Chain A
Amino acid sequence: MSKLFVDLAIAWRSLVQHRRRTLFLGSAIAAVTALLVLLTGLSTGVRETMIDTATTLSTGHVNVGGFFKVTAGQAAPVVTDYKRAIEVAKKTVPEMAFVVHRGRGWAKIVSDTGSMQMGITGIDVTSEPKFASVLQLVSGRLDDLAQPGTILIFDNQAEKLGVKVGDAVTISAPTTRGTNNTVDVRIVAIAHSLGLLSTWNSFIPIDTLRKLYQFNQDSTGVVQIMLERKDLDHIPQISARLRNALEQAGWRMMAPDPRAFWMKFQSVSREDWTGQKLDVTSWEDEISFMTWTLKALQGMSFVLIAILIAIIIIGIMNTMWIAIRERTREIGTLRAIGMHRREVLWMFLLESIMLGLFATVAGVTMGAAIATGLNALHVHVPVGLQFFLMSPFLHISVHVSALVWSVVGITLVTTVAALYPSSRAARLRPVVAMSHFG
């Protein structure tokens, strides 16, 4: 143990002695580590925002959706007898945090100055525990959405339709029987845009949606099951379990298809069956059309991180080469007085481990501080970027595990980078090393 302390003391003295080089290399490693922390934090932040926004606006972590076909050629996104489906889900999914049901529709919204096609989601706002936490209202009151004949839209839609809170719009959509129906609704709330998902989405009370589509009280669009974050990795197993349970309870099930429900209309309409079939999907299935943004960001982060690590490796190796060159005579002396090759290798490795450890700890501290500062500042992202980030603000999510991984990972990289120069130093013959000039 005391030998280790001696080795550590030697490594420390060596780092202090070559202060300028240590500071220069340490700063570079710290900066790269901070950048790594910020990049992974941004990627994690986007992923978390995407999950939170998507699971609030358009999907549960696990969904029991499906289609009802009056005739073989007409499919509607409807779940009949949904209360029984909820009962089955409650028994089968003990990981469930809570469950909500929502109506699904696609309609034309007509104002006095314009119109637009958009998705309409029927909700019971009083039974939606997370809804208020994700939306940021520009005007109006979310509680008013509990009143029949009301609607919540997003600011970009309000701008397009030329409406404000209190104005009326008409929703027009074909019923499952093909007859066009309309309802008048009053705008009670306008929320900040949440990017891609809010561009074509609006919310109305589920009873208003039922009135529009002429559904009865036992019908809904989808049962959305929300899980705790720790259970998100088990979604495939939970989905399979739920699918079996619903099948055993007597429902006909659709074959697993990892696409959003609205992408299945054409294929379902072509199938030769009528009545009800249920479909179990995950949140990733329902937003599969946009997870490419996350994958692109992760890919970009990976490339950047790879470049940064290559820079660290080159920097460390280069610095070690210089250090060994400067200290060749010292190595020769140490070898001459009896130090083994292994000990020389260990001495240089310990130096780089120590440098890597101190620098990465400083780097993660700096990265975490910058992330905390940026989050506290509520930095607005440009509108174009909001579209993909699904949030008006920049959100960097830094977890302790990510910090630990950054420290361990980069220290390991610095150690590996120092391995070859250190082994070359250890292999020097004492006579050659001692006669070295330069």
Chain B
Amino acid sequence: MKQRTKSIAFIAALLAGLAVHGRAFAALTTPQMVDLLKIVDDRQKNNGDWRASAYLEQKEKDKVDVVYETEYYRRSSDQKFMILFLKPKSSAGQGYLRIDKNLWFYDPSVGKWERRTERERIGGTNSRRSDFDESRLAEEYDPTDEGEEKLGAYTAHKLLLKGKSGIDLAFPMIRIWIDKDSKNVLKRQEYALSGRLLRTSYYPKWKKVHSESKGGDVWYPEEIRFYDEVEKANQTLVMIKAVDLKALPANLFTKAWLESKSR
């Protein structure tokens, strides 16, 4: 009798433990994950025009560090995007223009346009075009929950995102850590379809600006650190400054406008 009571007590304790464990790591359902991604996207959405300066510091093994000064522009309504290099002198006038989901690169030294893909390393750094654009995670990826994880003082939702077919993406697979409280992205690991880790990104500073067109705040990462996981010694630091949400000229997102900047 005593033995039986002991067994029941053990099973009850085990079940109680499992219940506590289950509550601590309760998996998000797919709609919950999509909603979470929508929140992440929405916080960064402007619903208007965007202009900002971005400084890209590129560190490569056995090479001198290079700092690029750029200005980038985007328009939410038709997903247009442009980035113009201002410094150093050797890169001044170069730029990327995204129209009709095509990314074009212009080099004033040869005066030619080249069509590039979303995998393009912006200016040869470890950044991609999508790093500067509005977040579209819910639209472009299917999420899988990987539980919660502590990142320093932050508790984060950890999701594995797999790219939807037919969409041109810089990375087909992303593991993302989203701050449970603020819903800001804290860290990303980007993979190839083979499972090879290509890049790790950290988002240590988030800022917000008030947007008239949105009628609310727009959040943006003031600092992003990219670590190349293939060429381990390479890294890129991106600093985003002087965000301006005023309407941009209608003719700005054209090849002619970008070409005119190097004349």
Q: Which residues of A are in contact with B by a Cβ distance under 8 Å? A: 112-113, 162, 164-168, 170, 172, 178-184, 186-187
Contact = CB atoms under 8 A, between A and B. Distances in A.
B119 interface: yes
Given A179-B112, A182-B115, A184-B118, A166 B195 contact: yes
B227 to A, nearest CB: 13
Nearest to A171: B117
Interface in B71-121: 112-120
Interface in B212-263: 230-231
A136 B178 CA distance: 45
The interface centre, meaning the residue of B116, B194, B230 with most chain A CB atoms within 10 A of its CB, is B194
B35 interface: no
Interface string B182-203: 0000000000111110100000
A47 B119 CA distance: 43
Contacts, number: 50
B168 interface: yes
A170 B119 contact: yes
A145 to B, nearest CB: 15
Given A113-B230, A182-B116, 17 more contacts: A112-B198, A113-B231, A164-B194, A164-B196, A165-B194, A166-B193, A166-B196, A167-B192, A170-B119, A179-B114, A179-B115, A180-B112, A181-B114, A181-B115, A182-B115, A184-B118, A184-B119
A184 B115 CA distance: 12
Given A113-B231, A168-B172, A180 B195 contact: no
Given A112-B198, A112-B230, A184-B119, A179 B113 contact: yes
A135 B221 CA distance: 49
A166 B119 contact: no
Contact of B119 (A164, A168, A187): A168
B192 A170 contact: no
B117 A184 contact: yes
Contacts of A168: 119, 172, 192-193
Contacts of B114: 172, 179-182
19 contacts: A112-B198, A112-B231, A113-B231, A164-B194, A166-B193, A166-B194, A167-B192, A167-B193, A167-B196, A168-B192, A170-B120, A172-B114, A179-B112, A180-B112, A180-B115, A181-B114, A181-B115, A184-B118, A184-B119
Contacts of A184: 117-119, 168
**B interface SS class:** loop
Nearest to A165: B194
A186 B192 CA distance: 9
Nearest to B105: A180
A200 B16 CA distance: 64
A170 B169 CA distance: 12
A24 B168 CA distance: 75
B194 A183 contact: no
A196 to B, nearest CB: 28
Contacts of B230: 112-113, 162
A386 B194 CA distance: 29
A182 B120 CA distance: 10
A167 B115 contact: no
Contacts of B193: 166-168, 186
Contacts of A172: 114
A105 to B, nearest CB: 15
The interface centre, meaning the residue of A167, A168, A181, A183 with most chain B CB atoms within 10 A of its CB, is A168
Contacts of B117: 170, 182-184
Contacts of B168: 184
Nearest to A162: B230
A187 B196 CA distance: 13
A137 to B, nearest CB: 15
A101 B113 CA distance: 31
A157 to B, nearest CB: 16
A178 B193 CA distance: 32
A165 B118 CA distance: 20
Contacts of B195: 166
